[in-house]
């Protein structure tokens, strides 16, 4: 009997062990029965790659939660939207109303879910986690769906990254492509947001193309091909795919490859939705995307949780989708689907008993844990993660990671090595970029397309100075001819562009400001002429690099300068006169001190003064016996020779050459006397005189021809005229003996060419202008503005000679004199005869007597001895002075 009982126990034990092993093999370590903790619904697209990854990841999360919680189990109920918004909406309603799910996960956007909440009130209060990427949240979503969670990066981060990439390469125009998913148009503010962000880097959206969702197209290939043909006909070559499904992107690049839009000169930028799946593309898709730049959400791929997740994900994905066995690496979308499911499960677990939707939402919003995609936490129902994007470049059979972009730090080599300081580096510094068509320089981003019409270049037909722009009619050919200095520079600039630029000149009868406004209003494509680069015009257009510098110059009638004795003093500046006198007296004193002891010709102050005067004319009769004196006087005589010769030459020139000087010296004189002034009526100078220089409008006379100024001056109609400097050179060149330039000038921006804001031609033309200047061709063309028959003497500079031409001579003489002064001091210390001379001189002035009495009193206090006589006091004082000198 005992043997039977023992056999029965052994059999029961074997059955229990085998059952346990079976449970463990199935991944369940909990032998106890579980109760259903909650129902989670999901709406995803089973046909898309994103939907497949999300389905596998969500099932993994439920299995992992069941394994970690022995007594609780979640029920995951998934519905296939098939990429159709109507089916997604009906599936959502069915899951909530019929299957009583307590939370919902899926690719429903806020735009799709918002209208449903008005039809079914249960949706408004149900916790919904949206996996749509990027997150596009309308401002009213918080009121319509208070329990709606965004489990992805916001669209603003994607747009800022796009702008950063475009700004790095300084492309001025882009074409935007985005897909209207699921029949719903993208958030209406996305283009406005993108446009505003791009303007911060001086870039505009030239064109945008909206693609319907792929399932809604009956012939998707034909539609995409036609759209690409239309975009290819435009001049812009920078294409940004902002929002697109993976399937749409694959077809887009296939057609772009066939149409030759993946060749040299083109630029393609893709976002996270496409770049994150490069690991899952087959070789044919990657081959169609050669040279594409993209960015994808970065996460730690070397962590142990991710490695474990990837291993299990690949195994499960292969088993469910064997046809995609080769390409089964999880993307960021799979990681987020896993973490979103886990967040709901954790919230349900931490809320025992029956939980309301409001309490569940509160538990989800307070969730904080480390998931496989990073640290999970919410703020205002939005995933609170500061994203970082890996910048990738498709090359060969794969891609190359070239940089990381962060909203806080910009472009970095890597986040791990970042020191926390803002970076302004370019990812070009970390390696070459492979562009469509192969390596090479950065694509310009635009071309002159076949359908582009010649640029309409406006030229001023009413310019005051035809030397710059002259519009005339060729009677033989009956064609308009445009010539002049500005036109010559423009044509020379076009020759240095790396492409052909078709254009036609359009004469404009109006002011220069009106022509700039025409460029702004698209009436003209550009404007060429003597346009001053002036701040007020920048609100309408952009300017090229100045091809000639400019100032505002005041021109007045010239008058002959009067001859008077003050010319002699004006020959040298005050500084030079004072230095000459000071050096002269200093050297004279040193010579007198050195010669006085052994040269009877230098006895007394009078000898010193006479020597100082006669040495100027080399008429000094006193012989120099001291060698040191000769050393000091020799360089000084050379200085006197050079300075005297310069003085005589300048003075002779002032007295014999006819000179002109301005009849009005400055603007203050014009303002005080209410004098009338003239200027070009078509230029900005009228506004400048009124607003900046404060001339009264009634005192400003407007002229429209260079010859009108001469008549106005002759009749006294104006007292002064204001020109921009290039115009002033022309006017003074013609009438240099009658008019001259006053001292009052004001710096301006120079002459440049006018282009619409954001025009890519601005940079190219500026670069070409610099090449013309560096080649010397600009100097040759400026010769048309010079007039060799104009005498330069009439306009000679009346300024005085300054110290600068003689600085070397003065330094040499001063150094020798300083050396002589030091030697004289040393000799004076040894020779006490100078003390006797000082005593004699001071005695005559009764100073010595006062000093002797004072010193004797001091000595009497220190020495309580017999008082000394007067002679003893003087002797003692002399000794003390001698000791002091030593």
The answer to which of 56-70, 210-224, 336-350, 629-643 has the lowest mean pLDDT is 629-643
Asked whether residue 13 carries a pLDDT value surpassing 70, the answer given is no
The answer to which of 261-270, 357-366, 716-725 has the lowest mean pLDDT is 357-366
Query: Is the Cα dihedral 673, 678, 681, 686 positive or negative?
Result: negative
Asked whether residue 22 carries a pLDDT value surpassing 50, the answer given is no
pLDDT value, residue 19: 41
CB 546 within 8 A of CB 489: no
Asked whether residue 33 carries a pLDDT value surpassing 60, the answer given is no
Q: Residue 352 is encoded by which pair of tokens?
A: 């025992």
- Is 332 exposed, middle or buried, given 0-12, 13-18 or 19+ CB atoms closer than 10 A? buried
Asked whether residue 859 carries a pLDDT value surpassing 60, the answer given is no
**Beta bridge partner(s), residue 175:** 207, 239
What pLDDT, in 10s, does the model give residues 481-525?
A: 899 899 999 999 998 887 778 899 999 988 888 999 999 998 999
pLDDT value, residue 357: 79
pLDDT value, residue 759: 83
Binned at pLDDT 50, 70 and 90, residue 227 comes out as very high
Cα Rg of the chain, angstroms:
46
Binned at pLDDT 50, 70 and 90, residue 241 comes out as very high
Asked whether residue 9 carries a pLDDT value surpassing 60, the answer given is no
pLDDT value, residue 249: 92
Asked whether residue 21 carries a pLDDT value surpassing 80, the answer given is no
pLDDT value, residue 742: 78
Share the mean pLDDT of the chain: 77
Asked whether residue 171 carries a pLDDT value surpassing 80, the answer given is yes
- Which residue would you say has higher pLDDT here, 289 or 442? 289
Q: Strand 374-379 to strand 238-243: parallel, antiparallel, or no bridges (unpaired)?
A: unpaired
Angle at the Cα of 628 from the Cα atoms of 626 and 633, rounded to 5 degrees: 100
Q: From residue 625, give the alpha-carbon distance in Å to each of 540, 630, 820.
A: 81, 8, 15
Asked whether residue 14 carries a pLDDT value surpassing 50, the answer given is no
Query: Average pLDDT, stretch 444-459?
Result: 79
DSSP string for residues in 715-772: HTS-SEEEEEHHHHHHHHHHSTTTEEEEEEEEE---EEEEE-TT-THHHHHHHHHHHH
pLDDT value, residue 437: 86
pLDDT value, residue 755: 92
pLDDT value, residue 262: 93
pLDDT value, residue 868: 45
Asked whether residue 627 carries a pLDDT value surpassing 80, the answer given is no
Closest CA to 243 of 171, 172, 184, 173: 184
Asked whether residue 5 carries a pLDDT value surpassing 90, the answer given is no
DSSP E strands, 450-518: 455-460, 470-474, 479-483, 503-508
């Amino acid at each position: 009997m005992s043997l039977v009982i023992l056999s029965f126990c052994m059999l029961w034990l074997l059955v229990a062990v085998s059952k346990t092993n079976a449970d463990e093999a199935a991944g369940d370590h909990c032998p106890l029965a579980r109760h259903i903790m909650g129902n989670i619904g999901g709406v995803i697209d089973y046909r898309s790659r994103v939907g497949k990854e999300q389905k596998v990841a969500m099932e993994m999360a439920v299995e992992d939660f069941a394994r970690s919680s022995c007594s609780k189990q979640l029920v995951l109920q998934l519905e296939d939207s098939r990429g159709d918004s109507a089916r997604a909406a009906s599936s959502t309603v069915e899951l909530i109303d019929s299957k009583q799910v307590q939370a919902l996960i899926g690719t429903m956007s806020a735009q799709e879910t918002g209208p449903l909440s008005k039809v079914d009130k249960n949706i408004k209060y149900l916790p919904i986690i949206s996996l749509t990427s990027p997150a596009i949240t309308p401002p009213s979503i918080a009121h319509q769906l208070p329990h709606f969670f965004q489990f992805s990066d916001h669209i603003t981060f994607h747009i800022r990254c796009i702008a950063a990439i475009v700004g790095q390469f300084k492309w001025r125009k882009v074409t935007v492509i985005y897909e209207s998913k699921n029949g719903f148009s993208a958030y209406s503010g996305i283009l406005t947001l993108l446009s505003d962000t791009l303007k911060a880097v001086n870039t505009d959206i030239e064109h945008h193309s909206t693609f319907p969702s792929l399932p809604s197209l009956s012939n998707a290939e034909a539609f995409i091909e036609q759209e690409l043909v239309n975009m290819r006909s435009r001049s812009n070559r920078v294409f940004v795919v902002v929002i697109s499904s993976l399937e749409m992107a694959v077809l887009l690049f296939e057609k772009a490859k066939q149409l030759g839009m993946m060749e040299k000169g083109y630029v393609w930028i893709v976002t996270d939705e496409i770049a994150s799946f490069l690991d899952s593309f087959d070789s044919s898709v990657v081959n169609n995307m050669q040279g594409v730049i993209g960015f994808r959400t970065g996460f730690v791929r070397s962590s142990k949780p991710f490695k474990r997740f990837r291993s299990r994900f690949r195994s499960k994905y292969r088993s469910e989708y064997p046809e995609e066995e080769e390409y089964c690496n999880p993307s960021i979308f799979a990681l987020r689907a896993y973490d979103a499911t886990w967040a709901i499960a954790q919230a349900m677990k931490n809320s025992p008993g029956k939980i309301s939707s409001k309490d569940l939402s509160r538990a989800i919003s307070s969730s904080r844990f480390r998931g496989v995609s990073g640290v999970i936490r919410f703020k205002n129902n939005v995933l609170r993660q500061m994203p970082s994007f890996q910048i990738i470049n498709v090359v060969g059979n794969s891609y190359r990671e070239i940089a990381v972009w962060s909203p806080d730090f910009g472009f970095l080599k890597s986040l791990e090595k970042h020191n926390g300081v803002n970076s302004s580096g370019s990812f070009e510094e970390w390696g070459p970029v492979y562009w469509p068509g192969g390596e090479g320089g950065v694509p310009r981003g635009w071309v002159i397309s076949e359908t582009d019409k010649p640029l309409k270049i406006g030229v001023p037909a009413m310019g005051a100075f035809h030397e710059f722009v002259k519009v005339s009619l060729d009677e033989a050919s009956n064609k308009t001819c445009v010539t002049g200095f500005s036109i010559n520079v423009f044509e020379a600039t076009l020759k240095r562009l790396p492409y052909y630029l078709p254009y036609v000149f359009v004469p404009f009868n109006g002011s220069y400001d009106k022509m700039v406004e025409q460029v702004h209003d698209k009436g003209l494509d550009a404007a060429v002429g003597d346009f001053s680069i002036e701040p007020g015009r920048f609100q309408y257009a952009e300017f090229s690099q100045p091809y000639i510098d400019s100032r505002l110059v005041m021109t007045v009638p010239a008058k002959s300068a009067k001859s008077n004795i003050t010319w002699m003093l004006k020959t040298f500046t005050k500084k030079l006169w004072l230095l000459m006198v000071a050096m002269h007296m200093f050297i004279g004193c040193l010579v007198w001190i050195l010669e006085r002891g052994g040269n009877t010709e230098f006895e007394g102050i009078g000898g010193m003064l006479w020597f100082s005067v006669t040495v100027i004319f080399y008429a000094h009769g006193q012989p120099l016996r001291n060698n040191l004196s000769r050393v000091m006087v020799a360089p000084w005589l050379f200085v006197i020779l050079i300075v005297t010769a310069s003085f005589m030459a300048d003075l002779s020139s002032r007295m014999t050459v006819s000179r002109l000087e301005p009849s009005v010296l400055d603007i203050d004189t014009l303002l005080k006397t209410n004098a009338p002034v003239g200027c070009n009526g078509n230029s900005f100078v009228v506004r400048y005189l009124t607003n900046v220089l404060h001339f009264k409008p009634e005192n400003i006379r407007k002229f429209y021809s260079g010859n009108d100024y001469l008549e106005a001056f002759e009749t006294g109609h104006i007292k002064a005229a204001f020109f921009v400097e290039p115009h002033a050179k022309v006017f003074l060149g013609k009438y240099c003996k009658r008019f001259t330039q006053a001292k009052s000038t004001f710096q301006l921006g120079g002459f440049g060419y006018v282009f619409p804001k954001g025009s890519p031609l601005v940079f190219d033309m500026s670069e070409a202008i610099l090449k013309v200047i560096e080649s010397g061709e600009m100097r040759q063309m400026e010769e048309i503005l010079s007039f060799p028959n104009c005498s330069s003497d009439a306009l000679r500079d009346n300024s005085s000679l300054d110290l600068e031409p003689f600085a070397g001579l003065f330094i040499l003489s001063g150094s020798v004199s300083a050396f002589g002064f030091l030697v004289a001091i040393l000799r004076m210390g040894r020779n006490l005869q100078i003390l006797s001379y000082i005593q004699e001189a001071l005695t005559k002035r009764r100073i010595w007597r006062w000093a002797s009495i004072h010193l004797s009193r001091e000595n009497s206090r220190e020495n309580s001895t017999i008082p000394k006589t007067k002679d003893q006091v003087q002797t003692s004082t002399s000794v003390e002075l001698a000791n002091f000198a030593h």
